[in-house]
Structure formats: C-alpha cells, structure tokens
C-alpha cells in the first residue's frame, strides 16, 4: 500500500490511537482538534484486554503497564454495604492472556500524544465539512482553510460534526436516563481494597471504586435523573449526599473526600447502531461511529480496535476506498453489538424495568464470577487481535 495523506478530525483517544497506528504503517497523518487544549474528558478509562492488545501492538504496552491500576478482584455490595459477591479476575486474564489496565485518561493521552508527536496536531481548528472527487477529499476547516487529503477519518467524538454527512441522515444522541459523576480519590483501605474494583448497588443507583494507578481510585456515582437537571459544581457533594443518604460507610467517606473541582458530571447519551461507517474516502471512528453507554467499559477499547483494523485494511488494499469498505465490513456488526449490549446493561443497572433490576440484584447474590467473566471474555475474544 502506498503512503497516504490522511487527515484526522479529532485528537481524543480514538484520533490519537488512529494517528499512531496509521503513522506506524507509513502514512502521513495530520490531526485537527476543535478544542484549544487537550484536556481529557473524564478521570480514567478502563482498558480491557482487547484494548490492551492493541496498545501493546502499537508499542505502548510497558508504558501503559507502568502507570495503570492493578485490578485483581471484583466485588458487589448492596447499599448497606453487605457483600453480594467477590471474585478474582485472574481467570479472565489467564484465559485471554492479558490483564485489564485501568488508567488515568491524562496518562493515556500523554503517552499517545508523545508517540504521535505534538507537531502533527493542530489545536483550536475543527473539521466542519468535506467534499470528494475521484482522487481526494477536500476538508473544510473552521479557520477558513481547505485541505486536500487522500482520506478523512472522522474521530470527532459523540458530538461529531461529520457523522450526519457520512451516514447521509440526521443521527440523534439519545439520553440513557442517568447522570454520572466521576473523579479520582486517594486509595484508602476504608474505601476499598487497593487491588479491587468495588461496586455498591441499590435503588437503581451505583457507586464504583476502581484502582487506576498512581495510588488513586477512579470513582463514579450513577443516578437515574431527568434530562437537563441543574449542574452546579458547588452543590455536587450535597447533591450526592442526598442521593446516597443511608448508604454504606465507604460511600459516605467517598462523598466526604471527593474534590468537587476535580469531578466531571455527565448526562449519559449514546447513539443507536449506525447503518454505515464510511462514505467514499471518509470513515467514522470511535465515538463518532459508536457512541455507547459506559456500562461495559468499552468505548475507548472499541476506538482502539477501530484504529488497528483501519490500519490493517489500508495495508491490504491499494485502493483506499476499497480498504475503507473492508474496514466498515470488519467493524459494523462488532460495534453495533457492543452498543446494544451496553444499552441493555445500562437499562438493567439503572432501573428502566424495575423488576429486571431487582432480579439482577438477586443474581449478584448468587454470582460466583463465572457469568461476569464469561461476558468479559466474550467481548475480549471478539476483538481483532
């Protein structure tokens, strides 16, 4: 495959991973990011084994391992703190030959950016539109410039400006019915074990503590709420204290210790599976292609898979348009299935059907780990590596 000139819209996790994979394959890559700075959205990212494999193949394995959390067990407690189940994740890691790597988004972003090269990234400039002819794609930039390239990769996130143009119809982000507060807090035994992903569930709500490296837990709170409820940072602690009144002591301690200035509050949205990911010389990648609820922890991992598959498809065919069709064929069903599974898990966890949620709580009390690990393994084994 000859070297191509490729523009990437967006320098988030998906765009940077794509830039690294494509750059290593010998292509010239230019990234345009609408944000003025590369501040990561959210505190941390759970990289499951399918994502770890991609990052290892891109040469980042040792660096990721050095700064990620050592997550060995998983537990669920009820709202009062009674243990429902605790089990080792080592059987999963052994079965798929890789561990999970929970990591601060800032650490991952810096590792990717250093590997790609800051000189390839233009900040404060968005890719707003495109036009194609037989030989190239012309990208309209927000600063008035027009840039021609062999390919355009739209990795511009869940609020993608290019998605509708690629798909050929208006795509609506759908509210998943709950609000997520997330941040980081120092590891302490009175919160959870330093090697355990601990979750508390009840009243269709959830609290999570996950070791993310650097002596910190990544935490989040999920609460079903109407869309558009007030978002006032100074009230985060009081708001969470009200939602989780009477919950277990570790939850109360977490609320007391969190720093509201370091907390992100997000209304969770997704998009239904798209009918296509490609139009001519333009391809969607990452959240622009498959914005999903975070309930499977696969959003970032699927962007990494996209990047790897895209690079391999371009290696396999001299016609980049044919290569993009191969990319779509390889990814469309895979990501659609995970979007749907994430939405289903979201609905069960957050009480869309209260009887189903109560049944899930009862199942957790009988869970040995086999069912959860089987689901995680299914996702890992379905990846391209």
For the stretch 252-284, pLDDT in tens is 999 999 999 999 999 999 999 999 999 999 999
Which run of H or of E encompasses 186?
Answer: strand 174-186
The whole-angstrom separation of Cα 305 and Cα 67 is: 21
Q: Are strands 28-33 and 121-123 parallel, antiparallel or unpaired?
A: parallel
Please state, in angstroms and rounded to a whole number, the distance separating the CA atoms of residues 163 and 157. 9
Amino acid 36: pLDDT? 86
CA-wise closest residue to 75 among 195, 193, 192, 199: 199
pLDDT the model gives residue 318 = 84
Q: Which of 234, 196, 241 minimizes the C-alpha distance to 217? A: 196
Residue among 185, 339, 165, 155 at smallest CA distance from 255: 185
Average pLDDT (322-329) is 97
Assign 41 to helix, strand or coil. coil
**Residue bearing the bigger pLDDT, 2 or 51:** 51
Under DSSP, the state recorded for 273 is P
pLDDT digits (tens, 9 = 90+) for 192-221: 999 999 999 999 999 999 999 999 999 999
The pTM of this model reads 0.95
SS3 214: coil
**Predicted local confidence at residue 340, as pLDDT:** 97
Q: Secondary structure of the chain: what % helix, strand, coil (to 5)?
A: 40, 25, 35
**Where does residue 313 rank: exposed (0-12), middle (13-18), buried (19+ CB within 10 A)?**
buried
The vertex-177 CA angle with 104 and 232, nearest 5°, equals 65
Task: Tell me the C-alpha distance between 379 and 182, whole Å.
Answer: 24
Q: How far apart are CA 372 and CA 384, in angstroms?
A: 22
All structural domains of the chain with their residue ranges: 5-173+270-382
Per residue in 129-164, pLDDT (tens digit) is: 999 998 999 999 999 999 999 999 999 999 999 999
Distance of alpha carbon 170 from alpha carbon 160, whole angstroms:
11
Question: What average pLDDT does this structure show over 14-31?
Answer: 97
* pLDDT above 70 (res 26): yes
* Cross-strand bridge partners of residue 335: none
Q: Quick one: pLDDT at residue 42? A: 64
Helices and strands (H, E) in the chain, number of each type:
13, 18
Quote the longest CA-to-CA distance of the chain: 64
pLDDT in tens, 46-61: 999 999 999 999 999 9
Q: What pLDDT sits at residue 37?
A: 80
Tell me the CA end-to-end span of the chain in Å, nearest whole number: 21
Closest listed residue to residue 18, CA positions, set 266, 227, 288: 288
Give me the residues paired with residue 137 across strands.
132, 149
- SS3 state of residue 94: helix
Tens of pLDDT, residue by residue over 331-375, are: 999 999 999 999 999 999 999 999 999 999 999 999 999 999 999
Is the pLDDT reported for residue 323 higher than 80?
yes
pLDDT at 1 (0 to 100): 62
Residue whose tokens read 């980042």: 60
Convert the pLDDT of each residue in 71-118 to its tens digit. 999 999 999 999 999 999 999 999 999 999 999 988 999 999 999 999
| Percentage, residues of the chain above pLDDT 90 | 95
> What mean pLDDT do residues 20-26 have?
97
> Domain 5-173+270-382 class?
alpha beta
- pLDDT, residue 2, reads 78
> Can you tell me the distance from the alpha carbon of 229 to that of 283, in angstroms, rounded to the nearest whole number?
35
State the Cα–Cα distance between residues 277 and 285, nearest whole angstrom: 8
User: Which tokens belong to 248?
Assistant: 């277990």
């Amino acid at each position: 495959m000859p070297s191509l000139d490729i523009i990437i819209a967006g320098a988030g996790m998906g765009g940077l991973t794509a830039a690294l994979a494509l750059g290593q394959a010998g292509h010239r890559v230019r990234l345009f990011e609408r944000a003025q700075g590369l501040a990561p959205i959210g505190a941390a990212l759970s990289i499951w084994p399918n994502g770890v494999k991609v990052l290892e193949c891109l040469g980042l394995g040792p660096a990721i391992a050095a700064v990620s959390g050592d997550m060995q067990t998983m537990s669920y407690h009820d709202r009062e703190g009674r243990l429902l189940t605790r089990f080792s994740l080592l059987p999963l890691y052994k079965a798929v030959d890789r561990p999970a790597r929970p990591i601060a988004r800032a650490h991952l972003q810096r590792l990717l950016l250093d590997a790609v090269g800051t000189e390839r990234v233009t900040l404060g400039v968005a890719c707003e539109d495109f036009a194609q002819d037989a030989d190239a794609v012309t990208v309209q930039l927000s600063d008035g410039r027009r840039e021609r390239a062999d390919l355009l990769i739209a990795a511009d996130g869940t609020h993608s400006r290019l998605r509708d143009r690629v798909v050929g119809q208006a795509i609506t982000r759908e509210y998943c019915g709950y609000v997520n507060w997330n941040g980081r807090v120092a590891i302490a035994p009175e919160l959870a074990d330093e090697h355990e992903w601990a979750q508390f569930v009840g009243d269709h709500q959830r609290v999570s503590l996950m070791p993310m490296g650097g002596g910190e837990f990544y935490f989040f709170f999920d609460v079903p709420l109407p869309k558009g409820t007030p978002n006032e940072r100074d009230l985060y602690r009081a708001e969470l204290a009200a939602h989780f009144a009477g919950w277990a002591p570790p939850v109360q301690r977490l609320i007391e210790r969190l720093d509201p200035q370091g907390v992100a509050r997000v209304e969770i949205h997704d998009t239904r599976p798209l009918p296509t990911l490609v139009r001519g010389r333009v391809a969607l990648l990452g959240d622009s292609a498959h914005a999903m609820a975070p309930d499977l922890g696969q959003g970032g991992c699927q962007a990494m898979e996209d990047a790897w598959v895209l690079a391999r498809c371009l290696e396999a065919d001299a016609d980049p348009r044919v290569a993009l069709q191969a990319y779509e064929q390889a990814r469309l069903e895979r990501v659609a299935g995970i979007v749907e599974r994430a939405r289903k898990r979201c609905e069960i966890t957050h009480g869309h059907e209260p009887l189903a949620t109560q049944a899930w709580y009862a199942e957790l009390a009988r869970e040995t780990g086999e069912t959860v690990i089987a689901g995680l393994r299914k996702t890992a084994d379905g990846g391209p590596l």
